[in-house]
Amino acid sequence: MDFVMHTYENKFFLFLIVAASLAFGWILLPLYGAVLWGVVIAILFAPLYRGLCNATGHRRNLAAVTTLAIIVMIVILPLSLIGAALAQEANGMYVKIQSGELDLVRLFRQVVDALPAWISELMNRFGIASLGALQERLSAGLLKGSQFLAGQAINIGQSTFEFVVNLFVMLYLLFFLLRDGDLLARRVRGALPLHEQQQDELLLKFTVVIRATVKGNMLIALLQGALGGLIFWLLGINGALLWAVVMAFLSLVPAVGAGLVWIPVAIYLLASGAIWQGVILIAYGSLVIGLVDNLLRPILVGKDTKMPDYVVLISTLGGIEAFGLNGFVIGPVIAAMFIAVWDIYSISRQEFEADRGTT
């Protein structure tokens, strides 16, 4: 009877744990972005905090505040300034589209008229006898795109308060994660029903993937965006800052990258008669922008995560599809945890079968 009651109590307590955890996750859901980036930044800057803690005689509050100030100065403030400039440039481009000063449909027609004869023949073979329908689709797409830009501009103004609240929550949480991170890690390890070796492998994999994904992808995105924006500015292409940010975001996706921006622009330059600008952009994009991705990504991301490139690609794309921009972190982390858990299970099962075979 006592055994039955004890089993019943364990099951009920397990139900309470699951229910309380789900409820806690539910109330944090509106702020999950702030919590996620608080944890990510805390992991990235934990070595800096530990160094400052040692330098200040283990004054944890002072070290945490100093680390937080450094994060604001080198991360938050520059990103805020870039975001403000980007919003202004995007709004200016939207005004040009609406006023007709920037006629994208006309530019598209110029490109079509400049296409070589063999491309026109190829399009006819695929049943595209007339470009009227294609132009109509482009016009509808551009209209939706301009409406989206306008809506985003309005949303930026409406969500300023929400952004400030999330930023405050992230910084407030970040202070305690830096100061009490080691204590929280010990409590998590103590609550996990796993062997110490399994805990070490999972937590190590988690922190390694976070650092490799964020530091590696962010560095690659910043470099490719900056290099792409620089060549666009030098070639006199409108909206260089806007395109730089777009290329930076696209660079977060492996095997796709900034080529989705500079390749169509190079084709337009060639088709519109700006031959040397198009050639320069193609050479620069292939040799400089592409080289950053081909050389640095395997070193900064793949080498540390020890995940195949195709797993990094599909997990990043799936994460972005499911969670938006935050997915470029969440996707690879989930993939890494999936691989780590199955590796641990496989090793444990092999050890169990080996022990059973010797008995």
CB 285 within 8 A of CB 259: yes
CB 327 within 8 A of CB 316: yes
In angstroms, rounded to a whole number, what is the distance separating the alpha carbons of residues 310 and 93? Answer: 36
Q: How confident is the model at residue 137 (pLDDT cuts 50, 70, 90)?
A: low
200 to 42, 57, 192, 295: CA distances (angstroms): 19, 28, 11, 30
Residue 273 is predicted with a pLDDT of: 76
Pairwise pLDDT comparison (11 vs 51), residue with the higher score: 51
Mean pLDDT in the chain? 76
Residue 69 is predicted with a pLDDT of: 93
CB 149 within 8 A of CB 242: no
In angstroms, rounded to a whole number, what is the distance separating the alpha carbons of residues 53 and 179? Answer: 9
Give per-residue pLDDT as tens, 267-289: 878 777 778 888 898 898 888 88
The segment with the largest mean pLDDT, out of 152-156, 192-196, 202-206, 315-319, is 315-319
In angstroms, rounded to a whole number, what is the distance separating the alpha carbons of residues 248 and 233? Answer: 15
Query: What's the burial of 170, exposed, middle or buried (CB within 10 Å: 0-12/13-18/19+)?
Result: buried
Strands (E), the chain: none
Please tell me what DSSP assigns to residue 30. G
CB 131 within 8 A of CB 112: yes
Pairwise pLDDT comparison (177 vs 341), residue with the higher score: 177
User: Does 70 have pLDDT greater than 90?
Assistant: yes
Residue 113 is predicted with a pLDDT of: 61
- Weakest mean pLDDT among 73-82, 102-111, 181-190: 102-111
Burial 234-267 (b: 16+ CB within 10 A, else e): ebebebbbbbbbbbbbbbbbbeebbbebbeebbb
SS3 355: helix
- Weakest mean pLDDT among 161-165, 166-170, 255-259: 255-259
Residue 129 is predicted with a pLDDT of: 45
In angstroms, rounded to a whole number, what is the distance separating the alpha carbons of residues 191 and 84? Answer: 43
The segment with the largest mean pLDDT, out of 75-79, 145-149, 175-179, 307-311, is 175-179
Residue 143 is predicted with a pLDDT of: 53
User: Does 132 have pLDDT greater than 60?
Assistant: no
Residue 333 is predicted with a pLDDT of: 82
Give per-residue pLDDT as tens, 302-320: 565 567 767 777 888 888 8
Quickly count: other Cβ atoms within 10 Å of residue 72's Cβ.
15
Give per-residue pLDDT as tens, 218-237: 788 888 888 888 998 888 88
| Token couple for 138 | 């482009």
Burial 6-22 (b: 16+ CB within 10 A, else e): eeeeeeeeeeeeeeeee
Q: How confident is the model at residue 260 (pLDDT cuts 50, 70, 90)?
A: confident
Going by C-beta distance under 8 Å and a sequence separation of 6 or more, which residues neighbour residue 189? Answer: 196, 199, 203
In angstroms, rounded to a whole number, what is the distance separating the alpha carbons of residues 59 and 64? Answer: 9
| Token couple for 179 | 């100061």
Strands (E), 207-326: none
